Amino acid sequence: MSAIPQERRLVTAIPGPKSQELQARRLGAVAGGVGSVLPVFAARANGGIIEDVDGNRLIDFGSGIAVTSVGSSAEAVVRRASAQLAEFTHTCFMVTPYEGYVEVCERLAELTPGDHAKKSALFNSGAEAVENAVKIARAYTKRQAVVVFDHGYHGRTNLTMALTAKNMPYKNGFGPFAPEIYRVPVAYGYRWPTGAENAGAEASAQAIDMIVKQIGAENVAAIIIEPVLGEGGFIEPAKGFLPAISKFATDNGIVFVADEIQSGFCRTGQWFACEDENVVPDLITTAKGIAGGLPLAAVTGRAKMMDAPHSGGLGGTYGGNPVACAAALGAIETMKELDLNAKAKRIEEVMKARLTAIQEKYDIVGDIRGRGAMIAIELVKSGTKDPNPEATGALAKACHAEGLLVLTCGTYGNVLRFLPPLVIGEDLLNEGMDIIEAAFARV
Ligand code: PLZ
């Protein structure tokens, strides 16, 4: 494990000269379609700090987009993955299996909501897990249609582009998209026309009406939703929405899929965000936080559904790679040992208190939302609810210049989101919030 001092330190401008040199090389060699939020090149990272090649130490409020919840070089992850690397790197689970894969599936069965019989299949990326959840739901139901929601994000592969709501940058010019995908409203409280208090009941009624009238419930294989919408703007569907949609799915033989790729594994202060409303999904997709930074993803769900595809119908060369599985076992061990659900809840307390104080001073903060260490503010133009992507971008830039890595998101690009590693120290957390407050004063 990298013993990086847990202190912010700026020794050059951001990005520094070595980062700029690497960025120039990168522009010559790396495809232009692959962007970076902040072209500061990483040298090492752990806890709440990313150290760059110039020796700057940045406070990390991004966790590599909600991945390194246990830190970027967590002791148990490094120990277990290193040991596995020395034993063997790969055999392909579809050729000669190994124990780590089975053990990760056993952990997933224990940790995911519901006490029914469960099975899992492992993959490499979130998008791949979502694609496979659709394959499993179609094989199980022998139906084709898939229902997704406004502001939803599920990936960048062909099928998941179709499932994703936002055009730029994810879909523009990349069609044609997969057929049999239908989008319905989500209970976005802050922007619901008749008010947040009505959003849960009204949005679920509208969504269900659209499914029944426009698609036909009997044609729907799966309904896929993020229990807290991530890229779409950290939207928590208003109370009652998830249970209503989940019940409708169950009543109509539709597979209810919770995409917990961003919200799962202690991020929201629960193992999975859907636990907050006692929703038990049929299938649950996970990735990101599961393996402490190594590429691993999973579909976990009711055994009878998971067993619907024929043998050989699911897989992939690298899915459930042994090093990634060892890392996942290390990450899960760390989450339990350090009680990262409690840590996430504490992060929420600290952040929301600080953000509420900022909101009292600046009326461009339209909404503060999110749970655990998945917190965001939605920025609007003064005195309106009009999205304010300009202020959002300027605030992010101001934070970056001071050595605080923050990310933006949202359909309108007007959401500043905070995803610190769950192991971040409270001093760094508060220092990050100081920087955000100072950025507001400047912008
Ligand atoms: N489902 C809910 O959040 C990935 C993507 C960022 P992959 N989110 C970050 C970007 O610009 O590509 C995500 C997610 C939810 C699916 C995915 C896809 O996971 O591992 O990126 O494929």
Q: Residues 402-427: pLDDT tens digits?
A: 999 999 999 999 999 999 999 999 99
Helices (H), strands (E): how many in the chain? 13, 15
Domain ranges for the chain, please list them: 17-73+339-442, 77-337
Give me the pLDDT at residue 3, please.
Answer: 84
Q: Which residue do the tokens 């426009």 mark?
A: 214
pLDDT in tens, 120-163: 999 999 999 999 999 999 999 999 999 999 999 999 999 999 99
Beta strand residue intervals within 109-248, DSSP E: 118-123, 145-149, 181-184, 220-225
Give me the pLDDT at residue 38, please.
Answer: 97
| pLDDT of 1 higher than 60 | no
Scanning 270-321, the segments in alpha helix (DSSP H) are: 303-306
Task: For residue 261, report the distance from its CA to the centre of ligand 1, in Å.
Answer: 7
Selection from 155, 107, 128, 130 nearest residue 283 by Cα: 130
Reduced to 3 states (helix: H, G, I; strand: E, B; else coil), residue 443 is: coil
Classify domain 17-73+339-442 at the CATH topology level: Aspartate Aminotransferase, domain 1 (3.90.1150)
Q: What does the mean pLDDT of the chain come to?
A: 98
Helix (H) or strand (E) holding 407: strand 407-409
Task: For residue 80, report the distance from its CA to the centre of ligand 1, in Å.
Answer: 25
Give me the pLDDT at residue 254, please.
Answer: 99
pLDDT in tens, 267-286: 999 999 999 999 999 999 99
CA distance 19 to 135: 42
**For residues 88-109, average pLDDT:** 98
pLDDT in tens, 12-71: 999 999 999 999 999 999 999 999 999 999 999 999 999 999 999 999 999 999 999 999
Pocket test for ligand 1, best of 154, 158, 172, 236 (most atoms within 8 A of CB): 154
- What is the atom index within ligand 1 of the atom nearest the CA of 155? 18
One-letter amino acid of 82: S
CA distance 440 to 103: 47
- The dihedral formed by the CA atoms of 404, 409, 413 and 416, expressed in degrees to the nearest 10: -40
Task: For residue 358, report the distance from its CA to the centre of ligand 1, in Å.
Answer: 30
DSSP assignment string, 53-98: TTS-EEEESSHHHHT-TT-TT-HHHHHHHHHHHHH-S---TTTS--
Residues within 6 Å of ligand 1 by CB: 65, 125-127, 130, 153-156, 226, 230-231, 259, 261-262, 287
**For residues 199-226, average pLDDT:** 98
Percent of residues, the chain, with pLDDT higher than 90: 99
| pLDDT of 241 higher than 90 | yes
One-letter amino acid of 67: V
Domain 77-337: give its CATH code: 3.40.640.10
Provide the token pair at 362. Answer: 């600046």
CB-based contact 203:249 (threshold 8 Å)? no
Cα four-point dihedral sign 387, 393, 398, 402: positive
Give me the pLDDT at residue 216, please.
Answer: 98
Provide the token pair at 74. Answer: 């967590």
pLDDT in tens, 281-311: 999 999 999 999 999 999 999 999 999 999 9
Q: Which residue do the tokens 């209810």 mark?
A: 256
Give me the pLDDT at residue 328, please.
Answer: 99
Give me the pLDDT at residue 2, please.
Answer: 61
- What is the atom index within ligand 1 of the atom nearest the CA of 152? 2
Pocket test for ligand 1, best of 132, 134, 153 (most atoms within 8 A of CB): 153
CA distance 302 to 330: 25
Q: Which residue do the tokens 């036909």 mark?
A: 216
Reduced to 3 states (helix: H, G, I; strand: E, B; else coil), residue 299 is: strand
Give me the pLDDT at residue 423, please.
Answer: 98
